Amino acid sequence: MKLRLTSIQRFSVHDGPGIRTTLFAKGCSIRCPWCANPENLSHEIQKYCTESGVWKQYGEDYSIEQVFDICMKDKNFYGADGGITASGGEALLQAKPLAELFKRLKEEQIGCCLETSLYAPEKNLELLRNYLDYIYVDMKVLDEERADDILNAPLQLYEKNLKYLFSAFPREKICIRIPLVDEMTFTEKNINVISEHLKNFQPSKCEIFSVHNLGSAKYATLNLAYHKFRKITEEELLKVKGYLQKQSGNTCFVIH
Amino acid sequence: MILFYKENRVAKTPVDALKRVLSHFREIKVYGGSCSREKVLEKARFDADGCHTFIYTWDVYKTVKIRGRILGNCTIDYRKILNCGLSHYYMDGEDEFAKTNNSLLDAILTYVGRLADFVRESEIANRDNIVSYLVRFKDEPAQNLEEALQRILVINQIQWQMGHILVGLGRLDYCLDGYVEEETKAKRLLTEFFSLLHKYYTIKSNALMGDTGQIVILGGRTEEGECFTNNYTQLMIETIQELQIPDPKVLLRVNRDMEDAAWTDIIHVMSSNTGSPLISNDDEIIEHMVSFGYEREDANNYITSACWEPIAGNCYEQNNIISLNYLEPFERISKRHDLQKIDTFDRLMKLYYEELKGYIESITGYLDTLKWEKDPLYSMFDENARRCRRDVSTGGSKYNNYGILTVAMANAVNSLNNIRELVFEKKLYTYEELDSCRRANFKNHEAEYLLLKNADKKWGHDEDEVCSFVNQITEKTQIFLDAYENPLGGGVKFGLSSPHYIMNSVDYPASFDGRRKGEPFSVHISSGEGIAYTELMNFASKLDYSGKRFNGNVVDFMVMPALVKQNIAQFVQLIKVSLLQGCCQLQANVIDAATLILAKNNPNDFPNLIVRVWGFNAYFNELPEEYKDYLIERARQNEAAFN
Ligand code: SF4
């Protein structure tokens, strides 16, 4: 069993508490137009040429043992809070090998965390159920008239998984992440639907942020069209934060 | 000449620098012959610029003629001077040592007397107190913090006046322990104290602006081994931080018994971007010093030569004499051996070590030729020298080891790895072919250059194989140094940090790691290619610093300010665990490439931007361009890891 990853980032501080090692899984089932990691979209290994003319590839197959060994290198640094985060792409699409890896990491008392869009078969979440200490869940486009078109995937699947998630895990283990993207997630209607969801599910924490326009160089290496989005202002972020907090009674943070 | 050189570093044009020196031409006097030190002390003029609570003055135009090499990077034991008056240092007997000592001490006391007269006549606000402190200096201990600081300043200025360079400040919090002072007053006193030490910044700066050697050692352990901090530890860090000046700089001794809050404070200070502190790991360094041969009490009381090289508290070891260049064996192999016969990696390593040995012999040969200037001042304050009546410059100190430094270990390790892969594994070239590309500085060999430059660099990765390879090379180094005894009767030690990573790389031939001729060597223990901090720290922790290898091993890393400010807890964990795992010393530049580029292009907008250079802090704008560019390049490489 192998894990197909585009990179393994050590000393990761943006993907969960403490010092972490983040695994970027290759392959995603949806297509967010603002995606900053286009190399993680396709599950296929992709060759590309760097600016200096060197051929490289996006993606590599790792045995569980290999990834486990790399994760273990920083064990001393994880402490009580840190650990491993599976991100992507959509790490849930590789739930089987991931469960195998997490099982071994848990035996070493290393915390395991998942970052997911929830666009994956429900059983995949079940596979990881026993190993997850913390879950970051995206809330992107929930407006049912536009979601399927924008993300190129069925919103129904997301809703089903979200319900399962909140039934399977205590709310303290769940953080919702909301990327604000102009005219995509950042519309009045969408914010209202998100607010409804937060009210219903009551996650312990919620993070709002503006997406950055950093992935353009990677899009070029893959010959993919790149969409640039207007940066959401600090003022807008704070306004949404205030609104969501008021409507849903949730703790929202703005992160940068 | 030296004055012109120093003034020229900050003057708008060389003509301005020349004018400045010429305007003092009549005052310039170099005293030689017998009693030259006494003459300088007799003739030195005083100035009260910047003085309110203290007097601190150095006549930079009067100096002693230095024929040999003057002892530098030293720190007098200020503690003792605070506890007894100067007259305590008179010696009985008619021997040469005692006579020289007493003559110099007479001159010092006369100098202090003249200084008191000067202050009495001056407009200095605190003159009455200063005068009484100077009078009491002869026979009395210092009674309060103000008097103690004044005493340190006077002894400090005398060292500069005698032509000493890189004068250290020692364990200031430890030496002031017991002087109780209300915090606001203490802070005010320390603020003026540190500002005055910054007074002759341009002239004090040695190899580069900022390289003054004025290092304050804080924290640590007592001689008995107890964990030590007092209210001055934090207060001094805070004061220096608030002054926003690059100098004096702080080295903070830390240990595993420190509380979490103290670690958080350290990270906050680091993130303030004044380049300080350098963090020095007592748990490692003390043990290595003891097994090298220092008595535990002296190891517990260690200080460092100007930057990072550990030395026992009260002695005058010379620790920054020359840098061994780990690329040099490649040059020697090229010149002396039939390259066609290098047909296996083992054969290459055999030659590398053979040439390393020869090269080290030439270094120790050079060490044997060093002649140190007689030093009655430092001998006066050295217990052992006084006991055996032997000048510290000829081995009178309790410890008389030499310290050397090393450069380009990373370049050598990456080179050897490239050669192994391209010549002996993939067999794309013979050693001779690759060496000729290198010697031609890759001219007309762009393909080979790119191949070497873009190859996976091994240095900095926490793979056991890489670490044990580095350890093997340092082990050989210490074996080759093993039999060496220096003319003062001490041994020799070395480490993986050096100030010479740019100075020694100028015009130095290209290397097999894809470094072109003249490009800088890698800095200390650092990673240039976006290696994660945890990986770099693991790597550094696995290096062996035992035996003779503890003479300064600094992990040097760049951090984006926002990253550290938003993740204080993670950086606390990073630094703490790294030290627990065995890293010896750490320093950081908390700065991003964009700011450095802006500052380079618009120097007037960034007059106070401070950066960490090899082991000191400096104004970015005052650095030579090659140092600025190298910092920018390193910041860029670091940021690449996070994007
Ligand atoms: S879920 Fe993540 S990886 Fe997938 S398309 Fe969206 S942003 Fe990209």
The Cα angle at residue B165 between residues B163 and B168, in degrees rounded to 5: 125
Residue A75 burial by Cβ neighbours in a 10 Å radius (0-12, 13-18, 19+): middle
Q: Is B441 on the interface with A (CB under 8 A)?
A: no
Question: Could you report the per-residue pLDDT of B21-68, keeping only the tens digit for each?
Answer: 677 667 788 888 888 999 999 999 999 999 999 999 999 999 999 888
In a domain, B291, yes or no: yes
Cα–Cα distance measured from residue B206 to residue B49, given in angstroms and rounded to the nearest whole number: 22
In this structure, the answer to whether residues B559 and B544 fall within a common structural domain is no
Q: What is the pLDDT of residue A253?
A: 75
In this structure, the answer to whether residues B583 and B557 fall within a common structural domain is yes
Cα–Cα distance measured from residue B58 to residue A39, given in angstroms and rounded to the nearest whole number: 63
Residues of B in contact with A54 (CB under 8 A): 450, 454
In this structure, the answer to whether residues B463 and B340 fall within a common structural domain is yes
Question: Could you report the per-residue pLDDT of B430-455, keeping only the tens digit for each?
Answer: 999 999 999 999 999 999 999 999 88
CA of A195 to the centre of ligand 1 (A): 22
Closest by Cα among B144, B174, B368, B135 to B253: B174
- Is residue A208 within 8 A of residue A254, CB to CB? The reply is yes
In a domain, B258, yes or no: yes
Chain B residue nearest residue A214, CA to CA: B643
Instruction: Write a three-state SS string for B106-153.
Output: HHHHHHHHHHHHHHHHCCCCCHHHHHHHHHHCCCCCCCCHHHHHHHHH
In this structure, the answer to whether residues B181 and B299 fall within a common structural domain is yes
Cα four-point dihedral sign B612, B402, B98, B89 = positive
- Is residue B130 within 8 A of residue B54, CB to CB? The reply is yes
In this complex, do A19 and B563 lie within 8 Å of one another by their Cβ atoms?
no
In this structure, the answer to whether residues B331 and B439 fall within a common structural domain is yes
- For residue A49, the tally of other CB atoms under 10 A from its CB is 10
CB within 8 Å of B310: residues ≥ 6 apart: B280, B285, B289, B302, B303, B304, B550, B551, B552
In this structure, the answer to whether residues B523 and B559 fall within a common structural domain is no
In this structure, the answer to whether residues B205 and B336 fall within a common structural domain is no
CATH number at residue A241: 3.20.20.70
Total domains present in chain A: 1
| Confidence at B469, pLDDT banded by 50, 70, 90 | very high
Q: What is the pLDDT of residue B526?
A: 86
Q: Is B384 on the interface with A (CB under 8 A)?
A: no
CB within 8 Å of B585: residues ≥ 6 apart: B278, B279, B280, B281, B285, B308, B497, B552, B553, B554, B555
In a domain, B597, yes or no: yes
CA distances from B385 to B66, B91, B100, B103 (A): 21, 12, 13, 16
In a domain, B639, yes or no: no
Nearest to A76 among B532, B562, B581 (CB): B581
In a domain, B47, yes or no: no
Q: Is A19 on the interface with B (CB under 8 A)?
A: yes
Q: What is the pLDDT of residue B423?
A: 97
Q: Concatenated DSSP letters for B396-440?
A: -SS---EEEEEE-HHHHHHHHHHHIIIIIIS--S-HHHHHHHHHT
Q: Is B464 on the interface with A (CB under 8 A)?
A: no
Assigned token pair, B562: 């926002």
Q: Which domain holds residue B19?
A: 1-31
In a domain, B158, yes or no: no
In this complex, do B570 and A19 lie within 8 Å of one another by their Cβ atoms?
yes
In terms of phi and psi (left: phi > 0; alpha: psi -120 to 50; beta: otherwise), the region of A110 is beta
Cα–Cα distance measured from residue B299 to residue B303, given in angstroms and rounded to the nearest whole number: 9
DSSP at A12: E
CA of A153 to the centre of ligand 1 (A): 12
CA of A30 to the centre of ligand 1 (A): 6
CA distances from B501 to B159, B325, B630 (A): 29, 9, 11
Residue with tokens 């010429």: B22
Percent share of chain B, pLDDT over 70: 96
Total domains present in chain B: 3
Instruction: Specify the residue with its C-alpha closest to ligand 1, atom 3.
Output: A89
Residues with a CB atom less than 6 Å from ligand 1:
A 28, 30-32, 35, 37, 40-41, 88-90, 117
Q: Is A56 on the interface with B (CB under 8 A)?
A: no
In this structure, the answer to whether residues B239 and B344 fall within a common structural domain is no
Q: What is the pLDDT of residue B273?
A: 65
In a domain, B106, yes or no: no
Assigned token pair, A38: 């286009």
| Confidence at A55, pLDDT banded by 50, 70, 90 | confident
Cα–Cα distance measured from residue A235 to residue A246, given in angstroms and rounded to the nearest whole number: 16
CA distances from A10 to A22, A55, A136 (A): 6, 24, 19
Which ligand 1 atom is the nearest neighbour of the CA of A179?
7
CA distances from B143 to B77, B84, B129, B394, B622 (A): 17, 10, 12, 35, 40
Q: Which domain holds residue A133?
A: 2-255
Q: Would the pLDDT of B212 be above 70? A: yes
In this structure, the answer to whether residues B437 and B335 fall within a common structural domain is yes
Interface test with A, best of B570, B571, B576 (most A CBs within 10 A): B570
In this structure, the answer to whether residues B199 and B231 fall within a common structural domain is yes
In this structure, the answer to whether residues B578 and B507 fall within a common structural domain is no
Q: What is the pLDDT of residue A243?
A: 92
| Confidence at B643, pLDDT banded by 50, 70, 90 | low
Chain B nearest C-alpha distance from A36 (Å): 10
Mean pLDDT across the stretch B253-273? 86
Question: Could you report the per-residue pLDDT of B560-599, keeping only the tens digit for each?
Answer: 988 999 999 999 999 999 999 999 999 988 889 999 999 9
Q: What is the pLDDT of residue B210?
A: 81
In this structure, the answer to whether residues B467 and B602 fall within a common structural domain is no
Chain A nearest C-alpha distance from B642 (Å): 9
In a domain, B379, yes or no: no
Q: What is the pLDDT of residue B542?
A: 97
Chain B residue nearest residue A36, CA to CA: B643
Q: Would the pLDDT of B261 be above 80? A: yes
Q: How far separated are the first and last CA of chain B, in Å rounded? A: 48
Weakest mean pLDDT among A234-243, B88-97, B625-634: B625-634
Q: What share of chain B is helix, strand, coil (3-state, %, to 5)?
A: 50, 10, 40
Tell me phi and psi for residue B98, to 5 degrees. Answer: -65, -40
